[in-house]
């Protein structure tokens, strides 16, 4: 696949399900990818990227930002509170807000700095013990808590269990977002972004289908 190929599939899916393409943002997930591949996608004009580690993003994006001032980078992986300040400086949005301690730290830093990236609350829709995110039953209370801290909560994010039908999880995330008056839905990856668009995704996170397989060796 390629950036063009993915954009074509997004357009086709939007048309099929009555979505406006302007309402679906493609986050090109550049984690682990060699800089040459990222530079290639930047050269094609794409300006929205996703990283899952603060440290990796620190080593990569400041230089690209010097070259491409209008680039946006979102954090889509877990955030430790001791990296919160760095994350707030580096990212335009954080998709992994998932616990009161982190919300408290982000709120304190937002007051101090006078700015805050857009935030998404991660929901562990599959209730998997090893996975980050608030439980679906705790989501309403956590969103309320984050809002009470004046945090700019824009939406919800989920990563469905690998062995389950993603549509069920996307539908659950959408239901929780709707009852909390949240417009943003960060859901869908290389293997299921079309289903996510059908079910209302506003932010799809696509890595390997754009850049090729990640080489962890």
Q: Which of 77, 133, 184, 200 binds ligand PLP (CB under 6 A)?
A: 77
Nearest to ligand PLP by Cβ — which residue? Answer: 207
Least distance in angstroms from the C-beta of 211 to ligand PLP = 8
Nearest to 184 by CA among 153, 146, 142, 147: 153
Neighbours of 146 (CB within 10 A): 21
Least distance in angstroms from the C-beta of 214 to ligand PLP = 7
**Which is nearer to ligand PLP, 32 or 116 (by Cβ)?**
32
Least distance in angstroms from the C-beta of 14 to ligand PLP = 18
118-122 and 153-157: which strand pairing? Answer: parallel
**Which is nearer to ligand PLP, 29 or 143 (by Cβ)?**
29
H/E/C letters for each residue in the chain?
Answer: CCHHHHHHHHHHHHHHHCCCHHHCEEEEECCCCCHHHHHHHHHCCCCEEEECCHHHHHCCHHHHHHHCCCCEEEECCCCCHHHHHHHHHHCCEEEEECCHHHHHHHHHHHHHHCCCCEEEEEECCCCCCCCCCECHHHHHHHHHHHHHCCCCEEEEECCCCCCCCHHHHHHHHHHHHHHCCCCEEECCCCCCHHHHHHCCCCEEEECHHHHCCCCCC
Least distance in angstroms from the C-beta of 153 to ligand PLP = 18
Least distance in angstroms from the C-beta of 206 to ligand PLP = 5
**Residue 52 in contact with ligand PLP, rule: CB under 6 A:** yes
Touching ligand PLP, residues 131-160 (CB under 6 A)? 159
Binding mask 184-213 for ligand PLP (x = CB under 6 A): -----xx--------------xxxxx----
User: Tokens 């994010």, residue?
Assistant: 157
Count residues binding ligand PLP (CB under 6 A). 13
Binding mask 25-44 for ligand PLP (x = CB under 6 A): ----x-x-------------
Touching ligand PLP, residues 79-138 (CB under 6 A)? none
Least distance in angstroms from the C-beta of 177 to ligand PLP = 17
| Residues in touch with ligand PLP (CB under 6 A) | 29, 31, 52, 76-77, 159, 189-190, 205-209
């Amino acid at each position: 696949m390629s950036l063009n190929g993915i954009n074509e599939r997004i357009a086709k899916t939007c048309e099929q399900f009555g979505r406006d393409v302007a309402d679906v943002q493609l986050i090109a997930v550049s984690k682990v990818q060699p800089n040459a591949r990222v530079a290639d996608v930047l050269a094609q004009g794409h300006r929205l990227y996703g990283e899952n580690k603060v440290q990796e993003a620190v080593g990569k994006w400041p230089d690209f930002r010097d070259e491409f001032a209008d680039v946006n980078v979102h954090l889509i992986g877990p955030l430790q509170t001791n990296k919160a300040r760095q994350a707030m400086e580096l990212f335009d949005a954080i998709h992994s807000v998932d616990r009161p301690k982190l919300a408290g730290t982000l709120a304190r830093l937002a007051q101090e700095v006078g700015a805050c990236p857009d935030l998404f609350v991660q929901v562990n829709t599959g209730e998997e013990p090893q996975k980050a995110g608030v439980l679906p039953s705790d989501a309403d209370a956590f969103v309320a808590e984050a809002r009470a801290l004046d945090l700019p909560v824009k939406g919800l994010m989920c990563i469905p269990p690998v062995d389950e039908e993603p549509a069920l999880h996307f539908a659950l995330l959408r239901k929780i977002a709707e009852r909390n008056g949240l417009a943003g839905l960060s859901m869908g990856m290389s293997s299921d972004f079309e289903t996510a668009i059908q079910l209302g995704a506003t932010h799809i996170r696509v890595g390997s289908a754009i850049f090729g397989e990640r080489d962890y060796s």
